[in-house]
Amino acid sequence: MRSTFHGIEVSKRGLFAQQSALNTTGHNIANANTEGYTRQRANMQATTGLPYPGMNASLEPGLLGTGVNVVSLQRLREDFLDIQYRNENKRQGYWDARFETLEKLEGIMNEPSDTGLQKVMDQMWQAWQDLSKDPTNTSARAVVRERSKAVADTFSGLYGHLKEVQGDLDNVMGVKAMEMNSLGQQIASLNRQIADVVPHGYQPNDLYDQRDVLIDKLSKLVEVKVTPAANGMVNVTVEGRDFVTGQTSAPVTTQQNAGTGLLDLTMGGDTFVPTTGYLAGAQQSRDEIVPNMMQRLDVLAVNLTKEINELHRKGASLTDIKNGGAPQDLPFFLDASAPAGSKDYPKGAGSIVVNPDILASLDSIAAALPGKGGTAVGNNENALEIAKIKFKVLQAGTGATDLQESSTLDDYYRYTIGQLGIDSQEALRNQKNSELIVGTVDNQRQSVSGVSIDDEMAEMVKYQHAYSASARVMTSMDEILDKVINGMGRVGL
Protein backbone atom coordinates (compact mmCIF):
# COMPACT_ATOMS: atom_id res chain seq x y z
CA MET A 1 0.00 0.00 0.00
CA ARG A 2 1.61 3.27 -1.05
CA SER A 3 1.75 6.14 1.35
CA THR A 4 -0.17 9.32 1.01
CA PHE A 5 2.96 11.31 0.33
CA HIS A 6 4.45 8.82 -2.11
CA GLY A 7 3.94 11.15 -5.03
CA ILE A 8 5.66 14.00 -3.26
CA GLU A 9 8.66 11.80 -2.52
CA VAL A 10 8.83 10.66 -6.14
CA SER A 11 8.73 14.25 -7.35
CA LYS A 12 11.34 15.26 -4.84
CA ARG A 13 13.67 12.52 -6.08
CA GLY A 14 12.99 13.75 -9.58
CA LEU A 15 13.85 17.29 -8.59
CA PHE A 16 17.07 16.23 -6.89
CA ALA A 17 18.15 13.98 -9.71
CA GLN A 18 17.51 16.61 -12.39
CA GLN A 19 19.26 19.16 -10.23
CA SER A 20 22.27 16.89 -9.91
CA ALA A 21 22.29 16.48 -13.66
CA LEU A 22 21.97 20.23 -14.09
CA ASN A 23 24.90 20.69 -11.72
CA THR A 24 26.93 18.24 -13.76
CA THR A 25 26.02 20.14 -16.88
CA GLY A 26 27.08 23.33 -15.18
CA HIS A 27 30.39 21.71 -14.16
CA ASN A 28 30.95 20.57 -17.74
CA ILE A 29 30.27 24.04 -19.10
CA ALA A 30 32.47 25.63 -16.48
CA ASN A 31 35.30 23.31 -17.52
CA ALA A 32 34.75 23.60 -21.23
CA ASN A 33 38.20 25.12 -21.59
CA THR A 34 39.98 23.25 -18.83
CA GLU A 35 43.03 21.40 -20.19
CA GLY A 36 42.48 17.66 -20.05
CA TYR A 37 38.95 17.95 -18.63
CA THR A 38 36.75 15.00 -19.42
CA ARG A 39 33.04 15.66 -19.71
CA GLN A 40 30.92 13.92 -17.14
CA ARG A 41 27.45 12.51 -17.31
CA ALA A 42 24.99 11.99 -14.48
CA ASN A 43 23.74 8.45 -14.94
CA MET A 44 20.21 8.09 -13.57
CA GLN A 45 18.43 4.98 -12.60
CA ALA A 46 14.93 4.37 -11.41
CA THR A 47 14.88 3.54 -7.71
CA THR A 48 13.61 0.18 -6.55
CA GLY A 49 9.91 -0.24 -6.97
CA LEU A 50 7.32 -1.04 -4.32
CA PRO A 51 6.62 -3.37 -2.81
CA TYR A 52 10.10 -4.44 -1.99
CA PRO A 53 10.20 -8.21 -2.42
CA GLY A 54 9.82 -9.97 0.91
CA MET A 55 7.87 -12.60 2.78
CA ASN A 56 5.14 -10.25 3.83
CA ALA A 57 5.07 -8.24 0.67
CA SER A 58 1.60 -7.30 -0.39
CA LEU A 59 0.26 -8.81 -3.52
CA GLU A 60 -0.70 -5.70 -5.35
CA PRO A 61 -0.20 -5.77 -9.12
CA GLY A 62 3.06 -4.58 -10.58
CA LEU A 63 5.77 -2.66 -8.90
CA LEU A 64 5.00 0.88 -8.10
CA GLY A 65 7.79 3.23 -9.27
CA THR A 66 9.52 5.21 -6.56
CA GLY A 67 11.35 7.78 -8.64
CA VAL A 68 14.93 8.25 -9.71
CA ASN A 69 18.43 8.44 -8.37
CA VAL A 70 21.75 9.55 -9.84
CA VAL A 71 23.82 6.41 -9.51
CA SER A 72 27.07 7.57 -11.01
CA LEU A 73 28.87 10.55 -12.46
CA GLN A 74 30.51 8.92 -15.44
CA ARG A 75 33.74 10.19 -17.03
CA LEU A 76 33.39 9.84 -20.78
CA ARG A 77 36.83 8.76 -21.87
CA GLU A 78 38.48 6.04 -23.93
CA ASP A 79 41.72 4.56 -22.60
CA PHE A 80 42.73 3.31 -26.01
CA LEU A 81 42.91 6.85 -27.38
CA ASP A 82 45.08 7.86 -24.45
CA ILE A 83 47.52 5.11 -25.32
CA GLN A 84 47.57 6.19 -28.97
CA TYR A 85 47.96 9.82 -28.03
CA ARG A 86 50.88 9.15 -25.72
CA ASN A 87 52.59 6.94 -28.25
CA GLU A 88 52.53 9.67 -30.87
CA ASN A 89 53.26 12.38 -28.38
CA LYS A 90 56.64 10.86 -27.50
CA ARG A 91 57.47 10.67 -31.20
CA GLN A 92 56.55 14.29 -31.64
CA GLY A 93 58.67 15.24 -28.66
CA TYR A 94 61.63 13.34 -30.08
CA TRP A 95 61.43 14.99 -33.51
CA ASP A 96 60.68 18.37 -31.96
CA ALA A 97 63.96 18.25 -30.11
CA ARG A 98 65.95 17.03 -33.09
CA PHE A 99 64.42 19.54 -35.46
CA GLU A 100 65.02 22.41 -33.07
CA THR A 101 68.70 21.49 -32.99
CA LEU A 102 69.10 20.89 -36.71
CA GLU A 103 67.32 24.14 -37.49
CA LYS A 104 69.77 25.95 -35.23
CA LEU A 105 72.70 24.26 -36.96
CA GLU A 106 71.35 25.33 -40.33
CA GLY A 107 71.18 28.88 -39.05
CA ILE A 108 74.73 28.70 -37.77
CA MET A 109 76.24 27.16 -40.88
CA ASN A 110 74.38 29.71 -43.01
CA GLU A 111 74.79 28.00 -46.37
CA PRO A 112 74.29 28.63 -49.19
CA SER A 113 75.01 32.29 -48.73
CA ASP A 114 77.49 35.02 -49.53
CA THR A 115 78.77 35.03 -45.99
CA GLY A 116 79.23 31.36 -45.13
CA LEU A 117 82.39 29.33 -44.72
CA GLN A 118 82.35 28.32 -48.38
CA LYS A 119 82.59 31.93 -49.46
CA VAL A 120 85.34 32.69 -46.98
CA MET A 121 87.37 29.70 -48.18
CA ASP A 122 86.78 30.65 -51.81
CA GLN A 123 88.02 34.13 -51.08
CA MET A 124 91.16 32.72 -49.51
CA TRP A 125 91.93 30.62 -52.59
CA GLN A 126 91.33 33.71 -54.69
CA ALA A 127 93.79 35.62 -52.59
CA TRP A 128 96.46 33.00 -53.23
CA GLN A 129 95.73 33.21 -56.95
CA ASP A 130 96.06 36.97 -56.81
CA LEU A 131 99.31 36.59 -54.95
CA SER A 132 100.54 34.27 -57.68
CA LYS A 133 99.87 37.09 -60.17
CA ASP A 134 101.91 39.50 -58.17
CA PRO A 135 104.12 37.86 -55.57
CA THR A 136 106.01 41.01 -54.68
CA ASN A 137 102.89 43.03 -54.11
CA THR A 138 102.42 43.87 -50.46
CA SER A 139 98.71 44.39 -50.77
CA ALA A 140 98.25 40.98 -52.43
CA ARG A 141 100.13 39.53 -49.47
CA ALA A 142 97.99 41.47 -47.04
CA VAL A 143 94.87 40.08 -48.71
CA VAL A 144 96.19 36.53 -48.34
CA ARG A 145 96.78 37.19 -44.67
CA GLU A 146 93.37 38.77 -44.05
CA ARG A 147 91.48 36.08 -45.96
CA SER A 148 93.34 33.40 -44.08
CA LYS A 149 92.51 35.11 -40.81
CA ALA A 150 88.88 35.22 -41.93
CA VAL A 151 88.96 31.48 -42.57
CA ALA A 152 90.46 30.84 -39.13
CA ASP A 153 87.94 33.18 -37.51
CA THR A 154 85.01 31.64 -39.35
CA PHE A 155 86.05 28.17 -38.28
CA SER A 156 86.40 29.19 -34.65
CA GLY A 157 83.19 31.22 -34.84
CA LEU A 158 81.22 28.25 -36.15
CA TYR A 159 82.84 25.96 -33.66
CA GLY A 160 82.08 28.33 -30.80
CA HIS A 161 78.43 28.56 -31.85
CA LEU A 162 78.17 24.80 -31.97
CA LYS A 163 79.67 24.60 -28.51
CA GLU A 164 77.04 27.07 -27.32
CA VAL A 165 74.26 24.99 -28.83
CA GLN A 166 75.66 21.98 -27.05
CA GLY A 167 75.71 23.90 -23.79
CA ASP A 168 72.13 25.04 -24.33
CA LEU A 169 71.05 21.49 -24.97
CA ASP A 170 72.76 20.44 -21.77
CA ASN A 171 70.71 23.04 -19.90
CA VAL A 172 67.57 21.85 -21.63
CA MET A 173 68.37 18.31 -20.47
CA GLY A 174 68.65 19.56 -16.90
CA VAL A 175 65.38 21.46 -17.08
CA LYS A 176 63.51 18.61 -18.74
CA ALA A 177 64.86 16.14 -16.19
CA MET A 178 63.54 18.40 -13.44
CA GLU A 179 60.21 18.58 -15.22
CA MET A 180 60.08 14.81 -15.46
CA ASN A 181 60.90 14.50 -11.81
CA SER A 182 58.20 16.96 -10.87
CA LEU A 183 55.64 15.21 -13.06
CA GLY A 184 56.45 11.92 -11.35
CA GLN A 185 55.99 13.49 -7.93
CA GLN A 186 52.69 15.08 -8.92
CA ILE A 187 51.36 11.84 -10.37
CA ALA A 188 52.33 10.00 -7.20
CA SER A 189 50.66 12.69 -5.11
CA LEU A 190 47.45 12.46 -7.14
CA ASN A 191 47.61 8.68 -6.75
CA ARG A 192 47.64 9.23 -3.00
CA GLN A 193 44.66 11.60 -3.05
CA ILE A 194 42.74 9.21 -5.26
CA ALA A 195 43.53 6.23 -3.10
CA ASP A 196 42.22 8.20 -0.12
CA VAL A 197 38.72 8.57 -1.55
CA VAL A 198 38.18 5.61 -3.86
CA PRO A 199 37.80 3.02 -1.05
CA HIS A 200 34.88 5.09 0.21
CA GLY A 201 33.04 4.60 -3.01
CA TYR A 202 33.70 8.00 -4.53
CA GLN A 203 34.73 8.67 -8.09
CA PRO A 204 37.35 11.43 -8.10
CA ASN A 205 36.82 12.25 -11.75
CA ASP A 206 38.58 15.58 -11.64
CA LEU A 207 41.60 14.05 -9.98
CA TYR A 208 41.71 11.42 -12.69
CA ASP A 209 41.66 14.20 -15.26
CA GLN A 210 44.49 16.03 -13.60
CA ARG A 211 46.52 12.86 -13.46
CA ASP A 212 45.88 12.11 -17.10
CA VAL A 213 47.04 15.57 -18.09
CA LEU A 214 50.28 15.01 -16.19
CA ILE A 215 50.78 11.66 -17.88
CA ASP A 216 50.13 13.29 -21.26
CA LYS A 217 52.82 15.82 -20.49
CA LEU A 218 55.20 13.10 -19.35
CA SER A 219 54.55 11.19 -22.56
CA LYS A 220 56.06 14.00 -24.58
CA LEU A 221 59.31 13.69 -22.66
CA VAL A 222 59.73 9.93 -22.48
CA GLU A 223 58.12 6.68 -23.44
CA VAL A 224 55.48 5.84 -20.80
CA LYS A 225 53.28 2.89 -20.08
CA VAL A 226 50.40 3.18 -17.66
CA THR A 227 48.93 0.24 -15.78
CA PRO A 228 46.04 0.44 -13.32
CA ALA A 229 46.77 -0.35 -9.69
CA ALA A 230 44.71 -0.77 -6.53
CA ASN A 231 42.25 1.90 -5.35
CA GLY A 232 42.17 3.86 -8.61
CA MET A 233 45.91 4.46 -8.61
CA VAL A 234 48.11 3.92 -11.68
CA ASN A 235 51.66 2.72 -12.03
CA VAL A 236 53.77 4.41 -14.66
CA THR A 237 56.79 2.77 -16.23
CA VAL A 238 59.25 4.74 -18.30
CA GLU A 239 61.03 2.71 -20.95
CA GLY A 240 60.11 -0.42 -19.02
CA ARG A 241 61.50 0.85 -15.73
CA ASP A 242 59.35 1.71 -12.72
CA PHE A 243 58.83 5.43 -12.52
CA VAL A 244 55.66 5.96 -10.48
CA THR A 245 54.66 3.07 -8.31
CA GLY A 246 51.54 3.84 -6.32
CA GLN A 247 52.30 6.78 -4.11
CA THR A 248 56.02 7.02 -4.77
CA SER A 249 58.00 8.11 -7.78
CA ALA A 250 61.58 7.32 -8.69
CA PRO A 251 63.67 10.50 -8.48
CA VAL A 252 65.14 11.79 -11.73
CA THR A 253 68.39 13.66 -11.27
CA THR A 254 71.27 15.01 -13.29
CA GLN A 255 74.95 14.78 -12.54
CA GLN A 256 77.81 16.44 -14.25
CA ASN A 257 79.99 13.92 -15.97
CA ALA A 258 83.57 14.46 -14.91
CA GLY A 259 84.87 13.50 -18.35
CA THR A 260 82.62 15.44 -20.70
CA GLY A 261 81.43 18.15 -18.33
CA LEU A 262 77.92 17.43 -19.55
CA LEU A 263 74.97 16.20 -17.53
CA ASP A 264 74.21 12.52 -17.09
CA LEU A 265 70.66 11.46 -16.27
CA THR A 266 69.72 9.05 -13.53
CA MET A 267 66.35 7.61 -12.66
CA GLY A 268 65.89 5.92 -9.33
CA GLY A 269 69.64 6.20 -8.80
CA ASP A 270 70.64 4.34 -11.95
CA THR A 271 71.89 5.75 -15.22
CA PHE A 272 69.04 6.58 -17.53
CA VAL A 273 69.45 6.99 -21.28
CA PRO A 274 66.09 7.74 -22.87
CA THR A 275 65.61 6.32 -26.35
CA THR A 276 62.61 8.31 -27.48
CA GLY A 277 60.66 11.39 -26.53
CA TYR A 278 61.90 14.95 -26.14
CA LEU A 279 64.55 13.99 -23.59
CA ALA A 280 66.04 11.46 -25.98
CA GLY A 281 65.89 13.97 -28.83
CA ALA A 282 67.70 16.54 -26.74
CA GLN A 283 70.28 14.07 -25.50
CA GLN A 284 70.98 12.75 -28.99
CA SER A 285 71.22 16.31 -30.27
CA ARG A 286 73.72 17.10 -27.55
CA ASP A 287 75.73 13.90 -27.84
CA GLU A 288 75.48 13.06 -31.52
CA ILE A 289 74.11 15.73 -33.86
CA VAL A 290 76.13 18.68 -32.60
CA PRO A 291 79.37 16.76 -31.91
CA ASN A 292 79.08 15.18 -35.34
CA MET A 293 78.96 18.61 -36.95
CA MET A 294 81.87 19.75 -34.79
CA GLN A 295 83.81 16.68 -35.84
CA ARG A 296 83.15 17.37 -39.51
CA LEU A 297 84.34 20.94 -39.10
CA ASP A 298 87.41 19.65 -37.29
CA VAL A 299 88.21 17.30 -40.16
CA LEU A 300 87.79 20.12 -42.65
CA ALA A 301 89.87 22.56 -40.63
CA VAL A 302 92.65 20.11 -39.84
CA ASN A 303 93.01 18.95 -43.43
CA LEU A 304 92.77 22.41 -44.93
CA THR A 305 95.40 23.84 -42.64
CA LYS A 306 97.61 20.77 -42.95
CA GLU A 307 97.65 20.97 -46.75
CA ILE A 308 98.49 24.66 -46.70
CA ASN A 309 101.09 24.21 -43.96
CA GLU A 310 102.91 21.37 -45.72
CA LEU A 311 103.30 23.46 -48.85
CA HIS A 312 104.01 26.68 -47.06
CA ARG A 313 106.86 25.12 -45.09
CA LYS A 314 108.62 24.17 -48.31
CA GLY A 315 108.19 27.59 -49.84
CA ALA A 316 110.48 30.58 -49.72
CA SER A 317 109.27 33.90 -48.45
CA LEU A 318 110.56 37.31 -49.45
CA THR A 319 112.58 37.29 -46.24
CA ASP A 320 114.11 33.95 -47.22
CA ILE A 321 114.94 35.23 -50.66
CA LYS A 322 116.64 38.25 -49.13
CA ASN A 323 118.60 35.94 -46.82
CA GLY A 324 119.76 33.58 -49.53
CA GLY A 325 116.80 31.42 -50.33
CA ALA A 326 116.60 28.55 -47.87
CA PRO A 327 112.94 27.93 -46.98
CA GLN A 328 111.98 29.12 -43.55
CA ASP A 329 109.98 25.97 -42.76
CA LEU A 330 107.12 28.07 -41.46
CA PRO A 331 103.62 26.61 -41.06
CA PHE A 332 100.98 29.11 -42.17
CA PHE A 333 98.44 28.11 -39.53
CA LEU A 334 99.17 27.11 -35.96
CA ASP A 335 97.17 25.59 -33.18
CA ALA A 336 95.93 28.27 -30.82
CA SER A 337 97.21 26.31 -27.86
CA ALA A 338 100.67 25.82 -29.36
CA PRO A 339 103.42 27.26 -27.18
CA ALA A 340 105.37 30.14 -28.68
CA GLY A 341 107.89 29.03 -31.27
CA SER A 342 106.37 25.58 -31.79
CA LYS A 343 105.12 24.39 -35.14
CA ASP A 344 102.01 22.51 -34.01
CA TYR A 345 99.35 22.30 -36.68
CA PRO A 346 95.76 23.19 -35.71
CA LYS A 347 94.11 20.26 -33.96
CA GLY A 348 90.55 21.35 -34.60
CA ALA A 349 88.24 23.95 -36.04
CA GLY A 350 88.12 25.82 -32.77
CA SER A 351 91.84 26.42 -32.48
CA ILE A 352 93.15 27.78 -35.76
CA VAL A 353 95.32 30.84 -35.73
CA VAL A 354 97.51 32.36 -38.41
CA ASN A 355 101.17 31.98 -37.53
CA PRO A 356 102.23 35.06 -35.52
CA ASP A 357 105.36 35.34 -37.70
CA ILE A 358 103.09 35.92 -40.69
CA LEU A 359 100.96 38.34 -38.73
CA ALA A 360 104.16 40.19 -37.85
CA SER A 361 105.54 40.37 -41.37
CA LEU A 362 103.85 39.99 -44.73
CA ASP A 363 107.27 39.13 -46.17
CA SER A 364 107.03 35.82 -44.30
CA ILE A 365 104.39 34.51 -46.69
CA ALA A 366 106.14 31.97 -48.88
CA ALA A 367 104.91 32.50 -52.42
CA ALA A 368 108.06 31.13 -54.02
CA LEU A 369 109.23 27.57 -54.35
CA PRO A 370 112.98 27.03 -54.59
CA GLY A 371 113.70 24.92 -57.61
CA LYS A 372 115.27 24.83 -60.99
CA GLY A 373 115.21 28.53 -61.71
CA GLY A 374 116.64 29.48 -58.38
CA THR A 375 114.70 31.73 -56.08
CA ALA A 376 113.73 35.16 -57.22
CA VAL A 377 111.16 37.58 -55.93
CA GLY A 378 108.90 36.95 -58.90
CA ASN A 379 108.74 33.21 -58.20
CA ASN A 380 105.09 32.45 -57.56
CA GLU A 381 105.16 28.68 -57.74
CA ASN A 382 104.21 28.05 -54.14
CA ALA A 383 101.28 30.45 -54.27
CA LEU A 384 100.08 28.55 -57.32
CA GLU A 385 100.53 25.22 -55.56
CA ILE A 386 98.60 26.42 -52.51
CA ALA A 387 95.78 27.80 -54.66
CA LYS A 388 95.55 24.37 -56.27
CA ILE A 389 94.66 22.73 -52.94
CA LYS A 390 91.07 23.79 -53.64
CA PHE A 391 90.90 21.12 -56.32
CA LYS A 392 93.13 18.55 -54.69
CA VAL A 393 91.50 15.22 -53.94
CA LEU A 394 92.55 14.29 -50.44
CA GLN A 395 92.88 10.63 -49.66
CA ALA A 396 90.64 8.94 -47.14
CA GLY A 397 92.20 7.62 -43.98
CA THR A 398 91.29 5.99 -40.73
CA GLY A 399 92.54 8.60 -38.28
CA ALA A 400 90.17 10.71 -36.22
CA THR A 401 90.67 13.73 -38.41
CA ASP A 402 91.02 11.93 -41.73
CA LEU A 403 88.42 12.11 -44.44
CA GLN A 404 86.25 9.03 -44.62
CA GLU A 405 85.96 9.18 -48.38
CA SER A 406 88.48 10.59 -50.80
CA SER A 407 87.26 13.99 -51.88
CA THR A 408 88.24 17.58 -52.25
CA LEU A 409 87.79 19.91 -49.30
CA ASP A 410 84.96 21.67 -51.12
CA ASP A 411 83.17 18.41 -51.82
CA TYR A 412 83.56 17.37 -48.23
CA TYR A 413 82.06 20.59 -46.98
CA ARG A 414 79.23 20.52 -49.49
CA TYR A 415 78.48 16.96 -48.45
CA THR A 416 78.39 18.09 -44.83
CA ILE A 417 75.87 20.81 -45.63
CA GLY A 418 73.84 18.49 -47.85
CA GLN A 419 73.69 15.92 -45.07
CA LEU A 420 72.62 18.59 -42.59
CA GLY A 421 69.85 19.64 -44.97
CA ILE A 422 68.68 16.07 -45.40
CA ASP A 423 68.71 15.37 -41.67
CA SER A 424 66.86 18.57 -40.96
CA GLN A 425 64.35 17.86 -43.69
CA GLU A 426 63.74 14.41 -42.28
CA ALA A 427 63.28 15.77 -38.79
CA LEU A 428 60.85 18.42 -40.01
CA ARG A 429 58.87 15.87 -42.00
CA ASN A 430 58.65 13.50 -39.06
CA GLN A 431 57.80 16.30 -36.71
CA LYS A 432 55.01 17.51 -38.99
CA ASN A 433 53.70 13.97 -39.39
CA SER A 434 53.64 13.21 -35.71
CA GLU A 435 52.11 16.62 -35.05
CA LEU A 436 49.36 15.74 -37.48
CA ILE A 437 48.81 12.34 -35.90
CA VAL A 438 48.82 13.78 -32.40
CA GLY A 439 46.30 16.32 -33.65
CA THR A 440 44.10 13.64 -35.16
CA VAL A 441 44.20 11.43 -32.10
CA ASP A 442 43.58 14.41 -29.89
CA ASN A 443 40.58 15.28 -32.04
CA GLN A 444 39.26 11.78 -31.58
CA ARG A 445 39.83 12.11 -27.89
CA GLN A 446 38.10 15.45 -27.82
CA SER A 447 35.27 13.95 -29.81
CA VAL A 448 34.69 11.54 -26.96
CA SER A 449 35.68 13.58 -23.94
CA GLY A 450 35.47 17.22 -24.94
CA VAL A 451 32.74 19.52 -23.74
CA SER A 452 30.35 20.70 -26.43
CA ILE A 453 28.35 23.76 -25.46
CA ASP A 454 25.58 22.65 -27.83
CA ASP A 455 25.42 19.29 -26.13
CA GLU A 456 25.38 20.80 -22.71
CA MET A 457 22.70 23.33 -23.64
CA ALA A 458 20.49 20.59 -25.04
CA GLU A 459 21.04 18.58 -21.89
CA MET A 460 20.34 21.61 -19.79
CA VAL A 461 17.06 22.25 -21.54
CA LYS A 462 16.22 18.59 -21.10
CA TYR A 463 17.00 18.55 -17.39
CA GLN A 464 15.36 21.90 -16.87
CA HIS A 465 12.17 20.65 -18.37
CA ALA A 466 12.34 17.46 -16.36
CA TYR A 467 12.92 19.54 -13.27
CA SER A 468 9.94 21.80 -14.03
CA ALA A 469 7.81 18.82 -14.78
CA SER A 470 8.75 17.13 -11.51
CA ALA A 471 7.85 20.32 -9.73
CA ARG A 472 4.58 20.36 -11.62
CA VAL A 473 3.86 16.81 -10.45
CA MET A 474 4.53 17.94 -6.93
CA THR A 475 2.13 20.84 -7.38
CA SER A 476 -0.47 18.48 -8.58
CA MET A 477 0.13 16.23 -5.55
CA ASP A 478 -0.23 19.31 -3.46
CA GLU A 479 -3.56 20.08 -5.05
CA ILE A 480 -4.74 16.51 -4.59
CA LEU A 481 -3.77 16.54 -0.95
CA ASP A 482 -5.31 19.93 -0.54
CA LYS A 483 -8.51 18.43 -1.80
CA VAL A 484 -8.15 15.47 0.53
CA ILE A 485 -7.24 17.51 3.53
CA ASN A 486 -9.22 20.68 3.10
CA GLY A 487 -12.03 19.60 0.83
CA MET A 488 -13.00 16.17 1.94
CA GLY A 489 -15.05 15.21 5.02
CA ARG A 490 -16.62 18.55 5.32
CA VAL A 491 -20.18 17.38 4.70
CA GLY A 492 -22.60 19.88 6.06
CA LEU A 493 -20.03 22.48 7.00
Partner 1 sequence: MAIRVTQNMLNSNMLRNLHNSMYSMDKMQQQLSSGSKISKPSDDPVVATRGMFYRSSLMENEQYQRNIGEVQSWLELSDKALDEAGSIMHRIRELAVNSGNTTLGPDSLQAIGKEIEQLKEHLGTIANQTLGGKYIFGGSDIMTPPYDVSAGKITTTNNSEIMLEVSTGIQVPINVTGQSVFNYLGNGGKNVFDLMDKIVNDLKDGKPVNNELGNIDEQIDNLLGVRSTLGARANRIDLIQDRMEKEETTLTEGMSKNEDADIAEVITNLKTQENVHRAALGAGARIIQPSLLDFLR
Determine, following the binding rule CB under 8 A, whether residue 446 of this chain makes contact with partner 1. yes
Q: Nearest distance from residue 106's CB to partner 1, in Å?
A: 4
- Residue 246 or 450 having the CB closest to partner 1: 450
| 8 Å CB contact between 247 and 271 | no
Distance CA 408, CA 395 (A): 9
Could you give the string, one character per residue 326-365, with x where binding to partner 1 holds by CB under 8 A and - elsewhere?
----------------------------------------
Contacts of 326 (CB under 8 A, 6+ apart): 316, 320, 370
- Residue 104 or 176 having the CB closest to partner 1: 104
Determine, following the binding rule CB under 8 A, whether residue 387 of this chain makes contact with partner 1. yes
Determine, following the binding rule CB under 8 A, whether residue 30 of this chain makes contact with partner 1. no
Report 80-109 residues binding partner 1 (CB under 8 A). Answer: 102-103, 106-107, 109
Q: Nearest distance from residue 80's CB to partner 1, in Å?
A: 16
- Residue 364 or 379 having the CB closest to partner 1: 379
Closest among 227, 221, 266, 231 to 244, alpha carbons compared:
227
Q: How far is CA 368 from CA 345, 354, 376, 426, in A?
A: 21, 19, 8, 49
Binding partner 1 (rule: CB under 8 A), the pick from 414, 437, 473, 480 is: 414
Beta bridge partners of 255: 264
Stretch binding partner 1 (CB under 8 A), from 90-98, 115-123, 185-193, 399-407: 115-123
- Residue 343 or 429 having the CB closest to partner 1: 429
CB neighbour burial string for 150-187, b if at least 16 within 10 angstroms, e if fewer: bbbebbbbbbebbeebbebbbebbbebbebbbebbbbb
Distance CA 235, CA 228 (A): 6
Distance CA 321, CA 376 (A): 7
Contacts of 263 (CB under 8 A, 6+ apart): 170, 173, 174, 177, 254, 255, 256, 257
Distance CA 382, CA 88 (A): 60
Report 124-143 residues binding partner 1 (CB under 8 A). Answer: 125-126, 129-130, 132-134, 136
Stretch binding partner 1 (CB under 8 A), from 179-187, 219-227, 382-390, 399-407: 382-390
Report 453-482 residues binding partner 1 (CB under 8 A). Answer: 453-455, 457-458, 461
Binding partner 1 (rule: CB under 8 A), the pick from 381, 403, 441, 467 is: 381
- Residue 132 or 276 having the CB closest to partner 1: 132
Residue 269's φ and ψ, nearest 5 degrees, are 90, -15
Stretch binding partner 1 (CB under 8 A), from 173-181, 267-275, 329-337, 379-387: 379-387
Determine, following the binding rule CB under 8 A, whether residue 115 of this chain makes contact with partner 1. no
- Residue 313 or 414 having the CB closest to partner 1: 414
Stretch binding partner 1 (CB under 8 A), from 202-210, 213-221, 259-267, 384-392: 384-392
Q: How far is CA 274 from CA 180, 220, 280, 283, in A?
A: 12, 12, 5, 8
| 8 Å CB contact between 317 and 368 | yes
Burial of 12 (0-12, 13-18, 19+ CB in 10 A): middle
Q: Nearest distance from residue 144's CB to partner 1, in Å?
A: 13
Distance CA 40, CA 28 (A): 7
Distance CA 346, CA 156 (A): 11
Residues lying near partner 1 in the complex (CB under 8 A) are found at 32-33, 102-103, 106-107, 109, 111-112, 114, 116, 118-119, 122-123, 125-126, 129-130, 132-134, 136, 368, 372-374, 376-381, 384, 387-388, 390-391, 410, 413-415, 417-425, 428, 439, 442-443, 446-448, 450-455, 457-458, 461
